[in-house]
Amino acid sequence: RTRLTVPALRQMKAEGRRIVSLTAYDAGFARSVDEAGIDLVLIGDSLGMVCQGHDSTLPVTVDDIVYHTRCVAAGLSTAFLVSDLPFQADATPERALDASTRCLQAGAGMVKLEGAGHKLDVIRFLSEREIPICAHLGLTPQSVLRLGGYKVQGREEAAARKLLADAKAVAAAGADLLVLECVPSALAAEITAAVAIPTIGIGAGPSCDGQILVLHDLLGMNSGHRRPRFVKDFLANGGSILGAFQAYAAAVRSGEFPGPEHGY
């Protein structure tokens, strides 16, 4: 296997091959994730919760992401690597370019940022400077203070129309991928059909072009929070950590995961 590329990810959508994705934060797990044939690995700012023990992603810094990106990059040989831009690292195009450059120089092949609105200018600015970008819509955890919690987004008709418009807008602005987090399955299916770029779902039902989970959730590690509906413990029947990653990859590729019970 050779390392996946941005065009290869788009080709997977065209051919209906699901993009199996997982977060990782260090070289040891990255090695196993790679061995299991996971297509895409995200250094998520979820590391603020699962590694640092905070109750949100807001305390995570660019230095943290760059450190973990280096760790993960050292363990990967074939998976495509995406780094999250942490809270306010994408507040202006210039800040985002600085942070993205550091992530790419640390080994990432793409950066991810949350939201549309003024972020469309940031996406445009980065993409014009040859930085591959993954957008992230629906539940955007960096908005937790104003959202008032981690809730499903786009349930009401007006909110659903806004999400669809935002998805088209981030794609038009130059995003190469789109994460959809905690949106109704029917809406995620509609968005996936409406944009040419691949969608990666988490709590977004079975119709996205790919799926992602937080590593700790897939291994059944309880973060102290209520386990969301879209999480499945693959270690329970996987027998080993590598087996759990392989079981997850197989279940996503066959369309067995996520099932209707994992969606909204």
- Please tell me whether 114 is known to bind a ligand: yes
Contact segment (CB under 5 A) with Na ion among 81-89, 157-165, 217-225, 246-254 equals 81-89
The catalytic residue among 35, 94, 130, 181 is 181
Q: Which residues of 90-117 are buried (b: 16+ CB within 10 A; e: fewer)?
A: beebeebbebbebbbebbbbbbbbbbbe
**Angle at which helices 93-105 and 119-128 cross, to 10°:** 50
Sign of the torsion angle spanned by Cα atoms 118, 144, 170, 84 = positive
Residue 212 within binding range of ligand KIV, rule CB under 6 A = yes
Residue 84 within binding range of ligand KIV, rule CB under 6 A = yes
Kindly give, in sequence order, each residue whose CB lies less than 8 Å from that of residue 101, ignoring residues fewer than 6 positions away. 131
Query: Could you tell which of ligand KIV, Na ion, none binds residue 179, using a CB distance below 5 to 8 A set by kind?
Result: ligand KIV
- Tell the smallest beta-carbon distance from residue 256 to ligand KIV (Å): 20
Q: For residue 264, give the DSSP letter.
A: -
Q: Given candidates 44, 48, 109, 205, which one binds Na ion under the rule CB under 5 A?
A: 44
Residue 258 preceded by cis peptide, ω within 30: yes
- Please tell me whether 45 is known to bind a ligand: yes
Residue 45 within binding range of ligand KIV, rule CB under 6 A = yes
Q: Which is nearer to ligand KIV, 1 or 146 (by Cβ)?
A: 146
- Catalytic: 130? no
Cα separation, 207 vs 262, in Å, equals 12
Contact segment (CB under 6 A) with ligand KIV among 2-10, 37-45, 218-226, 238-246 equals 37-45
Total number of residues that touch ligand KIV (CB under 6 A):
11
Residue 46 within binding range of ligand KIV, rule CB under 6 A = yes
**58: exposed, middle or buried (C-beta count within 10 Å: 0-12, 13-18, 19+)?**
middle
Q: What is the contact surface with ligand KIV in residues (CB under 6 A)? A: 23, 42, 44-46, 84, 179, 181, 202, 212, 214
Task: Give the catalytic positions in this structure.
Answer: 181
